[in-house]
Structure 1
Amino acid sequence: MQSGDSAVADASHPVSPETLALVRTGRGLSGGLLVCATWETDSRPEVLELASRLTSETRAEPGCISFELCLPVEHSRRVVVLERYTDVVAFDAHRHTPHFLEIMQGQIAPLLSSRQIVVHEV
Structure 2
Amino acid sequence: MFSLVVQMEVRPERREEFLAGMTANAEASVRDEPGCLRFDVSAVTADPNRFFLYELYTDAAAFEAHKASPHFARWRTVAEQVLVGQVNTPGELLATHASEEFA
Same fold per superposition (TM over 0.5): yes
Structure 1 match to 2:53? 81
Structure 2 match to 1:35? 4
Structure 2 match to 1:54? 25
Cα displacement string for residues 69-91 of structure 1 (whole angstroms, at most 9, x for unaligned residues): 00010121101111000000000
Q: For structure 1, list consecutive stretches of 5 or more residues without a partner in the other structure.
A: 1-31
Q: Which runs of 4+ in 1 moved over 4 A?
A: none
Aligned residue pairs: how many?
90
Q: Sequence identity of aligned pairs in percent? A: 26
TM, length-normalised to structure 1: 0.70
Distance (Å, rounded) in 1 between the aligned partners of 2:66 and 2:48: 27
Structure 1 match to 2:15? 44
Higher relative contact order (CA 8 A, sep 6+): 2
Q: Which has the larger radius of gyration?
A: 1
Q: 1 or 2, which has the higher strand percentage?
A: 2
Q: For structure 2, list consecutive stretches of 5 or more residues without a partner in the other structure.
A: 94-103
What SS does structure 2 have at the residue aligned with 1:77? strand
